[in-house]
Structure 1
Amino acid sequence: MTVFKASAILLLCSALCVHVECQQYINQNAELTEIPEDIPLDVTQIILASNSITNIGPNSFSKFTELTHLNLGFNKIRTINDAAFEALVNLKGLYLYGTELEEIPVLSISTLERLDLAWNKIRTINDGTFEALVNLKRLDLYGNQLEEIPVLSISTLERLDLRDNKISTINDGAFEALVNLKELYLYSNQLEEIPVLSIISFSSVNFIYVHCE
């Protein structure tokens, strides 16, 4: 069943969820500047991509405790409150690609499996940024302005995409904790060499894509 309301779409779909019925709310290309107030509380997927939202406040999504996927890509987001996603105890996918973010927001979502921060303006990864993401499997940071890779302590990570940055330095031990990594993308950076010790422990890796200057 599909319900059309203004430019928003509320879609009931059984194919996207295993053994449960999920609700998907879609409101794209609508020039939204704020989170709509008509989103059902029991929604499991929200797609608000390609709008003009600039700020995510502490209560923007606090009512949607059943949410599993949130797509805010291609907005004009500059700030995200530290508590913006705290209530999303079932969230598995968070998509923040193509925004105006200059730093990685504080995230304490233990259920998160995919985090997409591609095509932002992020320059650094602070120590401990991903510590709370104990189930993260895929991290997309391509197309940013990163210059170095610090130590990443994400033992569950399976795919890491860092291409199209300005990376010239990989810190010692940067990848040592990534014991489950299967795919690593490093091409289109400013690397002249890769320390052997940075990748020697990758017994689980199937693909490493890299190009050195």
Structure 2
Amino acid sequence: MPTCLLCVCVRGSVYCDDNDLDQVPPLPKDTTHFYARFNKIRHIKNTDFINLNNLKRIDLTGNQISEMDDDAFALLPQLQEILLADNNLQALPELPITMTFIDVRNNRLISGGIHPEAFKDMSRLEFLYLSNNQLDYVPVPLPESLRVLHLQNNNVQSLHVDTFCNTNDRNYIRRSLEDIRLDGNPVNINLYASAYTCLPRLPIGGGY
């Protein structure tokens, strides 16, 4: 069945929420926003979004995704926002540097499942939601553009003095990063005061 009969297509947006889908349907080439929340999708393949050069937002919240091909999103030149909350992911595939918003809350992400320096070159990334996973450390380096970092309810046990700041530059101030959540982790943020000297606001969090 053609996707726009199964789903709702409106001016580049395709809405397939709560539709018992077990895979991503073929999308029109002019798709800019794709919503397939609360379905039964388990695997995202590298062919699911091929040649969708206008795609800016993908929302797959509330599926059963446990596997993603590593290049499933890497070649989307305009992708800015991806929402993968409430799935079963242990690993995060490579994402394009155009990202501004990443939400992978409530998965089973482990630190080894995130590419080294995965977010470093995302110069427009502002919102990074990683809460309720199994991460052991903060995924550094973080881009200067970042405004919100939520890591509550993970397994972060320590912080490095350069996690947020730059010890080589005492005048450095990270002005954008105003919302850091570390509550629900084993780390006691009171032991790492030197890691926050460059921040406009202290992280939220305690220790066990």
Asked if TM exceeds 0.5, the reply is yes
Distance 1:75 1:49, change over 3 A: same
Deviations 1:34-85 (A, max 9, x none): 1112x22111100011111111111210121111111111112122222211
**Secondary structure, counterpart of 2:203 in structure 1:** strand
Aligned residues: CA RMSD = 2.0
Which of residues 116, 122, 125 is equivalent to 1:133?
122
Higher helix content, 1 or 2: 2
**Equivalent residue pairs, number:** 195
Q: 2:55 aligned with 1:59, yes or no? A: no
Contact 2:94-2:115 at 8 Å conserved across structures? no
More strand by share: 1
TM-score (norm 1): 0.83
User: Which range is displaced more, 90-99 or 164-173?
Assistant: 164-173
Structure 1, gaps ≥5 residues long: 13-22
What do residues 79-117 of structure 1 show as CA deviations (whole Å, max 9, x unaligned)? 22222113311111011111111122222x121100111
1:27, CA displacement in angstroms? 0.6
TM-score under structure 2 length normalisation? 0.85
After the TM superposition, which residues 63-212 of structure 1 pair with which residues of structure 2 at under 5 Å, given as runs? 63-107=51-95, 109-124=96-111, 125-176=114-165, 179=174, 180-193=176-189, 194-202=191-199, 205-206=200-201, 208-212=203-207
What is the identity, as a one-letter code, of the residue corresponding to 2:90? E
Q: Tell me which residue corresponds to 1:5.
A: 5
Q: CA deviation at 1:155?
A: 1.7
The sequence identity of aligned pairs, in percent, is 22
How far, CA to CA, are the matches of 1:132 and 1:102 in structure 2? Answer: 22
Shift of 1:165: 1.5
Deviations 1:143-183 (A, max 9, x none): 11122225323221111011122222223311126922121
